[in-house]
Amino acid sequence: MSEYILTCLQCNHEFADTYTLTCPHGCKGLIRTRYAVRQITLRDEPGIFKYSDWLPVTGSIPTLAEPICYKSEGLAGILNLSNLWIAFSGYWPDKGAFTVSGSFKEFEAFPTMQRLAGRTKGVILVSSAGNTGRAFAEVSAQTGQPVIIVIPETAQSRIFTTTPASNVMLISISGDYTDAISLGNKICTLPGIIPEGGAKNVARRDGMGTVMVAGTLAMGVLPDLYLQAVGSGTGGIAAYEASLRLIADGRFGKRMPRLLLFQNEPFVPMVRAWSFRRREIWEEDMPDAENAITRVFSDVLTNREPAYGVAGGVFDVLTATKGIMGSVSSRDAKDAGNLFSSCEGIDPDPAAAVCVAGLIQALRSGVIRPDEKILLNITGGGYLMREKNLPEYVKKPDMRVTKATPFKKISARVQRWMRLHA
């Protein structure tokens, strides 16, 4: 159990947490947690809840999932880097990494579900194109806590768990991620259903922030640079917020790490907007978006409404950290992914491969010096080993809908399911 309050980054109002996603005064900016504990003490438990001092939770869920950080030899050797550290989120038993859904979305899902259970009643709803949905399904399968997940039908095969997910209601919609989001928003108007909140949810951000904490504890000092591939930008914001706490902790140095964030060409709206130092993303930053989204190597990076311009969002954290954004071609990402597999011995998620390609590019262009302390966030991976070692229960949709399905029909089904499961 941690002691904390919430604060609004726009009006500085402080308030207690009732699974609040936005400032009660109506501000549009992000809200942030402020923890009573300035110096973090790790709890004596496995998994991410060892960081509970800085998680907005009352209590914990038993899990082995947590970021693992180690000093690279393989990739560092090839690239001639003397201080490359890898934060790995995924499944890699040899390294003690048991994030079974395969990505750092699980670090968001566990604290979010625990925060919800401790702060309010209701069933959480997630709209996802893949990794987020799978992470929440996994937590639900392990804990029995009900979750409603809305996905585009093309993502169906991505929702699987290590044990049957009998309290997940999976709704698939013909269309893309944007259609799943808009259906999800509609379902959230039904009583008892709560949106998970994305970047606005402090449990998601502080959960992801554990990567920076784990990295800093392993390195003994804050890194000079933090590298991540971004779609919504939540992980970048989280890394900055965790760094603020680590600086205030006092034991890990005073220098704010620079954020180096990458997107996958041709869909790079944040890279474009930031290149003009513009707070707003314009339509022209994502020309022919629908088509561009089908052409990327990593589709988890194709969020059309990232947490970019909002107060406390990506624009602000890039400004505060003298950050850099870069774009990476799918071909470079693929090559970088193969390089990573061969020299580190684990298969990275395509998004993590984008990050490795970004690292190589930043070295070539002289943005990074070879002796700098680099924290490379490998945000997902280990899928091959997971497939070999763990059971895979593919969740079949409880309901398949189209954009033409009357909402009355959907809401009736959802409410019936709620009576049985919530």
Which residues form the interface with ligand PLP (CB under 6 A)? Answer: 103, 105, 131, 229-236, 300-301, 349, 351-352, 379-380
φ, ψ for residue 396, nearest 5 deg: -85, 140
Closest CB to ligand PLP among 330 and 379? Answer: 379
Using CB under 5 A as the binding rule, whether residue 11 contacts Zn ion is answered as: yes
Distance of alpha carbon 395 from alpha carbon 102, whole angstroms: 16
232 binds, among ligand PLP, Zn ion, none (CB under 5 to 8 A by kind): ligand PLP
CA 196, chain centre distance (Å): 13
Rule CB under 5 A: is residue 151 a binding residue for Zn ion?
Answer: no
Is 8 a binding residue for Zn ion by CB under 5 A? The answer is yes
233 binds, among Zn ion, ligand PLP, none (CB under 5 to 8 A by kind): ligand PLP
Alpha-carbon distance of 52 to 73, in angstroms, equals: 31
Residues shown for the chain? 422
Give the shortest CB-355-to-ligand PLP separation in angstroms.
8
Q: Which is nearer to Zn ion, 11 or 64 (CB)?
A: 11
In the complex, least distance from residue 327 CB atom to Zn ion, rounded to whole angstroms? 34
Q: What CA–CA distances, in Å, run from 376 to 178, 286, 307, 352? A: 30, 27, 21, 9
How many helices and strands (H and E) does the chain possess? 13, 18
Q: Does residue 10 interact with Zn ion by CB under 5 A?
A: yes
CB of 13 to Zn ion, least distance (A): 5
51 burial (CB, 10 Å; 0-12 / 13-18 / 19+) is buried
The answer to the question of residue 23 lying near Zn ion (CB under 5 A) is yes
| Helices 314-321 + 234-249 axis angle, to 10 | 40
Window of 25-33, 108-116, 167-175, 375-383 that interacts with Zn ion by CB under 5 A: 25-33
Are 59 and 114 in contact by the 8 Å Cβ rule? The answer is yes
Report the sign of the C-alpha dihedral through residues 99, 105, 108, 110, in that order: negative
| Least spacing, CB of residue 10 vs Zn ion, in Å | 5
Residue 48, Cβ density class (10 Å: 0-12 exposed, 13-18 middle, ≥19 buried): buried
6 binds Zn ion (CB under 5 A): no
231 contact choice in ligand PLP, Zn ion, none (CB below 5 to 8 Å, kind-dependent): ligand PLP
Cα–Cα dist 57/117, whole Å: 9
Main-chain dihedrals φ then ψ at residue 92, nearest 5 degrees: -160, 80
Q: Binds 103, which of Zn ion, ligand PLP, none (CB < 5 to 8 A, cut-off by type)?
A: ligand PLP
Choosing from 3, 16, 25, 38, the residue that interacts with Zn ion (CB under 5 A) is: 25
* CB closer to ligand PLP, 56 vs 90: 90
By beta-carbon proximity to Zn ion, the closer residue of 46 and 309 is: 309
- Show the tokens assigned to 144: 């029995």
Could you tell me which stretch among 26-34, 69-77, 162-170, 215-223 binds Zn ion (CB under 5 A)?
A: 26-34
Supply the DSSP symbol for 415. Answer: H
Determine the 3-state secondary structure of 85 from DSSP: strand
Min dist. Cβ of residue 401 to ligand PLP (A): 25
Least spacing, CB of residue 102 vs ligand PLP, in Å: 8
In one-letter notation, the amino acid at residue 14 is: E
User: How many other CB atoms sit within 10 Å of the CB of residue 372?
Assistant: 16
| Site stretch for Zn ion (CB under 5 A), options 21-29, 54-62, 284-292, 408-416 | 21-29
Q: Check binding of 21 to Zn ion (CB under 5 A).
A: no
Nearer to Zn ion, 25 or 34 (CB): 25
Secondary element (H or E) of residue 399: strand 399-401
Residue 11's binding partner among Zn ion, ligand PLP, none (Cβ under 5 to 8 angstroms by kind) is Zn ion
- Judged by the rule CB under 5 A, the positions of this chain that interact with Zn ion are 8, 10-11, 13, 23, 25, 27
